[in-house]
Amino acid sequence: MSESLEGLAARIGASSSASLVAVFTHWEEAVGPSVAAHCRPATLVRGTLVVEVEDPVWATQLRYLSGTIIERFAATAGPGAVDRVEVRVRRS
C-alpha cells in the first residue's frame, strides 16, 4: 500500500505521499478554523497547492495568507511540499 501511495504521489508531482497527506489533514491547523470553514485544499501538484474558496472575498484573504500557508506547511509537511498557493473561486 505504501508503495502504491508513493507511486501516486510521484505521478501527481507531490514530493511524497506523507506531504500530500499532511497538507490535506492539517489544513485547518495551517489556516485556522474560521478560514478553513470557507475554503479547502483541492490539489497539490509539483508544489502548487490549489485552494478552492466560496467567494472572491475569501480568495483575496487566501492570497494574502499564502506566504504564511507555505511556511506552516514547510513545518508540517516538509520544506518544498508547498511552494506556491493558487486560489480559485468554487462554482456554485
Domain CATH number, residue 8:
3.30.300.180
Structural domains in the chain (count): 1
**C-beta separation of 48 from 81 below 8 A:** no
Q: In the chain, pLDDT over 90 holds for what percent of residues? A: 58
Instruction: Report residue 87 as a C-alpha cell.
Output: 486560489
Mean pLDDT for 68-72 is: 95
Task: Enter the pTM of the model.
Answer: 0.80
Mean pLDDT for 31-48 is: 92
Of 81, 86, 85, nearest to 20 by C-alpha is 81
Mean pLDDT for 4-32 is: 70
Mean pLDDT for 28-32 is: 92
Domain that holds residue 41: 2-89
Q: Which residue has the higher pLDDT, 67 or 4?
A: 67
pLDDT band with cut points at 50, 70 and 90 for residue 7 = low
Instruction: Report residue 64 as a C-alpha cell.
Output: 494574502
